[in-house]
A and B are shown apart, each in its own frame.
Chain A
Amino acid sequence: MAAVDHDAELQKAGANINGGFGSLLFFIRSYPLGAFGAIIVLSFVLTAIFADFITGYDPTTTSAASSLAKPGIAHIFGADFMGRDMFSRIVYGARISLIVGIGSALLGSIFGVIVGLSSGYIGGWFDLLMQRIIDIMQALPLLVMALLMAAALGPSLINTVIAIAIPLIPQTARVIRANTLALREMPFVEASKAVGMSEWRIAVKHILPNTLAPLIVLGTAKLGSAILTEASLSFLGLGIPEPHPSWGRMLSESAAEYVRTAPWLVIFPGLAISVVVFGTNLLGDALRDILDPRQRQ
């Protein structure tokens, strides 16, 4: 692989390189939609981290007086049937979404890498066996697989993360395996063997770093689908249990009834899910264009 002088390439493309700030400006100018997505994702992460400072209400404190309060000065997003402030439930809900989103995307990617890398590098009967197992896992839609996993593990935050992470493994495993198969034939791998490097060291030190770009692209896409799947699971009553404020479950609490009587209880949680997933999708698209030029459209 020829070394690419990234700075020179960027300069040629008209970028004004003055360290990090210059390339940041370049990113914003070339990928305005991606930059917009990055802003959404960043505010989502900051909201999740600083939830305690953003809102004055505790998301679990009930109050009979403000049951089903309309959006107003006291409760800007209104309050639910139990009188809990919707704004603070949505702010704290970001934390749940972030934990589940990052947790399952990360866990799914790690296991995907382990399966894909070992499958592609070891090859033979091991590869064949792994491929069949992945075929089986891919025969069920993400949501159905997650539903079964969630039911099997029981409702809790950690179990929801695991239930969503497992169905995310096959796609990463496939991509990493395909990359590993191609990389294994590269001259630099042969060279490492000639120098006497161990197989394990070659796989981890030389092959893995070269699969990082597709891994980041896939991981961002997974973040969005993990957040959506958590929302669907919780909506169906098989995800995050009380008292955690989950955006999806807020919509399941007799939403069909509130559609008539308290639309704010339906609008805000759904909007929160959609905006965050939209942001990760925009960012993911831009990252794919930058990191995986073969897929550029």
Chain B
Amino acid sequence: MTGYVIRRLLLMVLTLFGMSILIFVMLRLVPGNISDILFDSAGFVDPVDKARLEAELGLDQPILVQYWQWISGLLQGDLGYAYVSEKPAIDEILPRIPVTAKLAALALFFSVILGVPLGVISAVKQDTWLDYILRVVSLSGLSLPSFWLGLLILMAFVQWFGWIPIYTDKPDTLLKELGLLSIPAAAVGFRASALIMRLTRSSMLEVMRQDYIRTARAKGASDFAINYDHALRNAMLPVITIIGIEAAFLIGGLIVTETVFNIPGVARFLVEAIQWRDYPIVQNLVMLIAFIVVFVNFLVDMAYAAFDPRIKYQ
């Protein structure tokens, strides 16, 4: 087990290292850097001014030197300076994380609270009308773009309550903030719950076909005990894995939803930074996302190995 953990950790570091190269190269492929954007919008371009700006931002250095400056800084906790605001990148990124983290936690909570029970019901009532309805609902959840769902929710609020639940100022209490965030979180969570529901259902059906369930039935255990005591426990294990997939899935939903609801989080900030070619912000934020995805998957693998005694790693 220790060997397995160490190997997984090394693989994680290797993946993140590869990612850093990929992001860096990709951003430098972009035609035009921030100095082009700033000077193009100004109309008249003085090459001397432009060269000075590029030198100031270090954009005239060879690409390897630029990469080394970024990575060595990153390892020491120095993320460089944002181009647009000229503030340290860390001061731009850190304050925006709590809102996004709360939104993500709420969305994950909604998706599990909705997805797991509905998936179980769908499996237990397989091929009944209830199962059909739940399957169509979950499939439609995967088909609605979450930004459109967010817009529909906004529209419903305008229609029925006459106000729009978008984030203008930071609410004074945590409870109020969570209340306000729960609306966009529901939009993201509904989509994610559809994924959980489908996987819970298939995992549950898989388990219910196994011999020990037939044995339980033969010895006269009640349907309730079979479904919820015998089957559900084993069916939950693969569902844990989904949380790993969900991490990636949720981030995509957060990006568009924060834009719709005007939430000042990191996910929306990434889009703004990409549009401005604000390299220090984009490369650090993308590294953060990659780290979260890789780390959550690592934790899921560890949880799997710890909880399932059937799994053995050399």
Contact = CB atoms under 8 A, between A and B. Distances in A.
Contacts of A141: 248-249, 251-252, 289, 293
Contacts, number: 143
Interface in A148-192: 148-149, 151-154
B72 interface: no
A285 interface: yes
B14 A132 contact: yes
Contacts of A137: 22
A33, A137, A236, most chain B CB atoms within 10 A: A236
A152 B275 CA distance: 10
Contacts of A153: 29
Nearest to B156: A259
B275 A232 contact: no
B19, B148, B252, B275, most chain A CB atoms within 10 A: B148
Given A139-B16, A236-B259, A281 B205 contact: no
A277 B144 CA distance: 8
A132 B15 contact: yes
A137 B11 CA distance: 14
Contact of B147 (A133, A139, A149, A232): A232
Contacts of A277: 142-145
A231 B148 CA distance: 10
A205 interface: no
B27 A144 contact: no
Interface stretch (A82-90, A115-123, A266-274): A266-274
A281 B19 contact: no
A226 interface: no
B26 interface: yes
B26 A256 contact: no
A270 B148 contact: yes
Contacts of A143: 251-252, 255-256
Contacts of A281: 139, 142-143
A105 interface: no
A184 B290 CA distance: 34
B19 A136 contact: yes
A135 B11 contact: yes
B297 to A, nearest CB: 8
Interface in A196-255: 224, 228, 231-232, 235-238, 248, 251, 255
B202 interface: yes
A244 to B, nearest CB: 18
Interface string B76-92: 00000000000000000
A251 B148 contact: yes
A130 B164 CA distance: 48
Contacts of B274: 147-148, 151, 238
A144 B30 contact: no
B281 to A, nearest CB: 13
Contacts of A81: none
A256 B260 contact: yes
Contacts of A148: 23, 26-27, 274, 282, 286
Contact of A224 (B31, B143, B252): B143
A255 B23 CA distance: 31
Interface string B234-267: 0000000000000011011001100110100000
Given A251-B147, A270-B152, A259 B158 contact: yes
Interface string B266-302: 0000110011010000100010011001100000000
A137 B259 CA distance: 25
A54 interface: no
B225 interface: no
Contacts of B140: 274, 278
Interface in B104-138: 132, 136
B59 interface: no
Contacts of A297: 201-202, 205
Contacts of A135: 11, 15, 18
Contacts of B136: 33
B232 interface: no
Contacts of A267: 152, 155
A102 B136 CA distance: 24
Given A132-B14, A144-B270, A152-B29, A251 B151 contact: yes
Contact of B256 (A136, A139, A236, A278): A236
B213 interface: no
Interface of B: 11, 14-16, 18-19, 22-23, 26-27, 29-31, 132, 136, 139-140, 142-145, 147-148, 151-152, 154-155, 158, 164, 166, 201-202, 205, 248-249, 251-252, 255-256, 259-260, 262, 270-271, 274-275, 277, 282, 286, 289-290, 293-294
Interface of A: 33, 132-133, 135-137, 139-144, 147-149, 151-154, 224, 228, 231-232, 235-238, 248, 251, 255-256, 259-260, 263, 266-267, 270, 273-275, 277-278, 281-282, 285, 297
17 contacts: A132-B15, A135-B11, A144-B255, A144-B270, A144-B289, A147-B271, A151-B274, A152-B26, A152-B27, A228-B145, A231-B145, A238-B271, A251-B148, A259-B154, A281-B139, A281-B142, A282-B139
> Nearest 10 CB-CB pairs, A to B?
A270-B148, A143-B252, A278-B143, A136-B18, A141-B248, A277-B143, A139-B290, A141-B252, A152-B29, A141-B251
